[in-house]
A and B are shown apart, each in its own frame.
Chain A
């Protein structure tokens, strides 16, 4: 599966919404329920799925889904 589809799966699980659609430009403001708690659930689940660990800065700093996706792609290519 691509990074993109794995990410989508996690988003749909965490937000319990299987109709959720995300794009590279998606930010927290675009997704209903994406508050600080959901953010933590999301980042933890992404770490778990991709076997990565975000730094403290990264946990709060991805500007949008595209930046997150590119980061995960760079990590999964190394691995």
Chain B
């Protein structure tokens, strides 16, 4: 009974948020400022019938996927490079610097250097990479040195050490880092699209909704982004759990 109650907590939390939202909308009584949940869900249903919505969503997801793939690859390569002391120090300094740069600076600077269609994915890649690097480094640092010693003693081929030991050892950390980074990545792409007025983009839809004071539409788009981020995280964690089957439960 207790177990079921615990599993229902996310649903209760969502219902609680909806209730608070509804109460707040009743208190404010101005749709332009805060529409009610029902108005927002009507707007959401309407969005789902629009071709423009699906086109924008598709393009945004492609940008987000591209940015995430590049960030993932760079972060993983740099995490691998930590085996070398010099590479480790250089990577640590470089990513510490990147992490400190304000996100808005990155967006505004890249808008000068790149076209509106290219800037959002560059922004996301640059901002997400340090986050992924931290997660991957932490996972790499947890690889048991005692087992590396066994590999060395028994003269296991480097290729086998990497693919059959190191990579599976860090897989759990990689998937967890990727899951956390995915929704942040999506948020960044959307933010950059909004500022850059990227054509055929989710961010641009949100920007237009804001300009036309279509608050219900804007909130509906926001909810969609939140759901997509959560779905992406869930999928990545699910894949991770099926890949890392050997972990004791």
Q: Is this pair of chains taken from one and the same complex?
A: no
Identify the A interface with B (CB < 8 A).
Answer: none
Identify the B interface with A (CB < 8 A).
Answer: none
